[in-house]
């Protein structure tokens, strides 16, 4: 098991190097002078301001040198200073990160519970559930999260007035209200994940249902409920874990939209405002951190996979 | 067997029988129709409707997408304005029709670009294997670490939001997954007997790829192209929703939705119309994708 973890950790290094190159390179797609882009048109009138910003961000050096310097600092947790907020990027990211992590985690739980339940029902019961789940799988993916969120705000505020919308309350201020505030964002973000999980649970359960060990379990007279939970779902969990890991990039991208709609002060909303304000150091920092989160989530999924599958655990 | 029949002089009768059997074989269209499934029929039907609505938008819509009508702002659905009017009294129905044009003019070229790039990366990776494969696939792994929407937002912001940059960005971002889709069947085709046979008679690699590998890759690709069209429309509308789509006054579904959200309490049609248009269009491409997958993969027909 330890070897599996170590091997996967070493494989992360080249991927993260590539991620950092792409993140750094994307910022240098800016047409024209980077320094002018950073200070804006008014600042660019003053050659002294330009020279200062060039020296401060090392823009007068060759690009590979700039990259290595940036990477060296980033590895030590220094992402430079935000252009517009005038605070260190790393501190601001750390301050906003927990809410986004909470939103993502709750959405994954929502996706696994709803998707797992629907997929299993469709495979085991069929009939009504077959049609219902088929429609859910289609619409869950086809309804954009920003539309679902908008509908929830529009009709939710009419019929469920105890759930506050558009005003964020932190967990520390009022835990109960905080959880209520998170309901709509989690549904908006988790619905498409649940659809993907339902689809995969359905086919995984179908594949497992007629395997020998399940037939043995039935033959020895185990209650159908125990057969499903103990023998079918346990096996189906392996592909479901992989799929959930692969959806993490999509899920974290979704937080940008959801946090913007629901006014949640998380990393996604910070990313959006950094992009809108052309705050390049902040953009770079956030993109790198989000990619790191995706890579780590995939690693976790792989490890969970190893945990569920004794064949991998042993070898 | 056949040669002995020829020798014993039974050939004419046999040929007649063979001809009879051929005549019994259902035509291509009948065979296709038999293999069609509900999903595919539904999806193709929707696609026909969407294409008619967007291509003939100027004939169907009574108002221009940017014409400020005299009906007044935020008027509810009524005769002449099936979906009401928006905050500056433009006809929502026309804007939804023209919005379809925006989404499709971004989605179709982006998917075509992604497919082209995906082929250029995936076919050599699968066909040549070894180091080439390793390098290409590791580089693509890097792309999978980024949320598509985030990277697209950053790049479109830096390059400037317009239709050309949207197509380029989305096309490049979808290329890695196309490459993966193309690579697997390339890998399994290259060791098949008929490819070996082609190679043994001295066919050039390029000829083998063009004549034998690519036709075999086409079924998974055609499924994924359809699914990708749906997802690209979701990405484009999300970018438009966040204000990084085609610049105003272009009627794009995402920007219509975001601009109308502040009025939705008393003019819900302004957000529902573009929202439902997105859902229908994306569903259409997903249905076609799922339907095609079932039609092309006999294993799937028995399942789910």
- Angle at CA of residue B224, ends B218 and B229, nearest 5°: 125
Report the run of H or E that residue A91 belongs to, with start and end.
helix A89-125
pLDDT of B102 reads 92
- Please state, rounded to an integer, the average pLDDT across all residues of chain B: 86
Segment A131-135 shows an average pLDDT of: 93
Instruction: Give the whole-angstrom CA distance, residue B270 versus residue B250.
Output: 16
Weakest mean pLDDT among A178-182, A274-278, A302-306, B244-248: A302-306
Q: Chain A residues with CB inside 8 Å of B107's CB?
A: none
Q: Do B147 and A275 touch (CB under 8 A)?
A: no
Q: Do A257 and B254 touch (CB under 8 A)?
A: no
Q: Do B151 and A26 touch (CB under 8 A)?
A: yes
CA nearest to B231 within chain A: A142
Query: In this predicted model, what pLDDT tens digit does every residue of A197-255 receive, in sequence order?
Result: 999 999 889 888 878 888 888 888 888 888 888 888 888 888 888 888 889 999 999 99
| A160/B contact by beta carbon, under 8 A | no
Weakest mean pLDDT among B24-28, B94-98, B125-129, B146-150: B24-28
B4 pLDDT more than 70: no
pLDDT of A6 reads 86
Burial B175-208 (b: 16+ CB within 10 A, else e): bbbbbbbbbebbbebbeeeebeebeeeeeeeeeb
Q: Is B230 exposed, middle or buried, given 0-12, 13-18 or 19+ CB atoms closer than 10 A? A: buried
Q: Chain B residues with CB inside 8 Å of A10's CB?
A: none
Question: Angle between the A175-209 and A89-125 helix axes, to the nearest 10 degrees?
Answer: 40
Instruction: Give the whole-angstrom CA distance, residue A195 versus residue A141.
Output: 6
Q: How many CA atoms does the CB half-sphere of B226 hold within 13 Å?
A: 21
Q: In sequence order, which residues have a C-beta less than 8 Å from that of residue A153 and are 6 or more positions away?
A: A165, A166, A184, A261, A262, B264
Please give the distance of CA B255 from its chain centroid, rounded to a whole number: 22
pLDDT of A109 reads 96
pLDDT of B202 reads 84
Backbone angles phi, psi at A174, to 5 degrees: -160, 95
- Using CB atoms, which residue from B159, B257, B268 is nearest to A146? B257
Q: Chain B residues with CB inside 8 Å of A291's CB?
A: 145-146
| A254/B contact by beta carbon, under 8 A | yes
pLDDT of B191 reads 81
| B254/A contact by beta carbon, under 8 A | yes
- Using CB atoms, which residue from B145, B150, B265 is nearest to A271? B150
Instruction: Give the whole-angstrom CA distance, residue B275 versus residue A261.
Output: 15
């Amino acid at each position: 098991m330890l070897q599996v973890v170590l091997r996967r950790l070493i494989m992360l290094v080249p991927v993260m190097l590539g991620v950092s190159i792409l993140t750094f390179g994307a910022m240098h797609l800016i047409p024209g002078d980077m320094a002018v882009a950073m200070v804006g048109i008014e600042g660019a009138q003053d050659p002294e301001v330009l020279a200062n910003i060039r020296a401060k961000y090392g823009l007068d050096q060759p690009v590979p040198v700039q990259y290595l310097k940036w990477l060296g600092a980033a590895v030590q947790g220094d992402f430079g200073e935000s252009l517009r907020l005038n605070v260190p990027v790393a501190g601001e990211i750390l301050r906003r990160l927990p809410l986004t992590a909470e939103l993502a985690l709750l959405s994954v739980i929502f996706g696994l519970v709803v998707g797992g339940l629907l997929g299993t029902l469709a495979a085991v019961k069929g009939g009504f559930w077959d049609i219902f789940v088929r429609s859910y799988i289609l619409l869950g993916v086809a309804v954009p999260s920003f539309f679902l969120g908008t509908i929830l705000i529009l009709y939710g505020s009419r019929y469920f007035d105890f759930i506050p919308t558009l005003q964020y309350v932190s967990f520390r201020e009022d835990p109960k209200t905080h959880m209520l505030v998170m309901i709509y964002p989690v549904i908006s973000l988790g619905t498409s994940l649940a659809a993907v999980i339902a689809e995969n649970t359905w086919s995984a359960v179908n594949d497992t249902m007629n395997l020998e060990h399940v037939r043995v379990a039935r033959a020895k007279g185990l209650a159908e409920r125990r057969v499903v939970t103990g023998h079918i779902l346990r096996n189906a969990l392996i592909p479901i874990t992989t799929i959930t890991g692969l959806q993490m990039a999509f899920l974290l991208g979704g937080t940008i939209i959801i946090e913007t709609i629901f006014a949640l002060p998380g990393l996604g909303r910070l990313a959006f405002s950094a992009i809108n304000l052309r705050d390049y150091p902040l953009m770079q920092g956030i993109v790198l951190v989000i990619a790191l989160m995706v890579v780590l989530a995939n690693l976790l999924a792989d490890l969970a996979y190893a945990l569920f599958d004794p064949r991998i655990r042993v070898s | 067997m056949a040669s002995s029949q020829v020798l014993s002089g039974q050939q004419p009768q046999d040929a007649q029988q063979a001809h009879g059997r051929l005549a019994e074989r259902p035509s291509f269209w009948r065979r296709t129709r038999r293999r069609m499934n509900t999903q595919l029929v539904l999806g193709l039907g929707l696609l026909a409707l969407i294409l008619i609505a967007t291509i003939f938008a100027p004939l169907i819509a009574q108002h221009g997408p940017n014409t400020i009508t005299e009906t007044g702002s935020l008027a509810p659905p009524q005769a002449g304005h099936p979906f009401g009017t928006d905050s500056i009294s433009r006809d929502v129905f026309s804007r939804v029709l023209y919005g379809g044009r925006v989404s499709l003019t971004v989605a179709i070229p982006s998917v075509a670009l992604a497919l082209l790039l995906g082929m250029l990366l995936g076919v050599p990776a699968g066909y040549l294997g070894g180091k080439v494969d390793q390098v290409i696939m590791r580089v693509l792994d890097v792309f999978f670490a980024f949320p598509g929407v985030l990277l697209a937002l950053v790049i479109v912001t830096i390059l400037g939001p317009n239709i050309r940059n949207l197509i380029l960005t989305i096309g490049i971002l979808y290329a890695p997954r196309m490459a993966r889709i193309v690579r697997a069947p390339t890998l399994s085709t290259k060791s098949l007997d008929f490819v070996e046979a082609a190679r043994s008679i001295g066919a050039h690699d390029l000829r083998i790829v063009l004549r034998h590998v690519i036709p075999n890759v086409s079924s998974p690709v055609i499924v994924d192209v359809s699914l990708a069209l749906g997802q690209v429309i979701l990405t484009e509308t999300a970018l438009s929703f966040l204000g990084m789509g085609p610049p105003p006054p272009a009627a794009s579904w995402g920007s219509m939705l975001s601009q109308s959200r502040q009025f939705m309490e008393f003019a819900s049609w302004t957000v529902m119309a573009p929202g439902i248009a997105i859902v229908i269009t994306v569903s259409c491409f997903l249905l076609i994708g799922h339907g095609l997958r079932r039609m092309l993969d006999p294993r799937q027909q028995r399942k789910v």
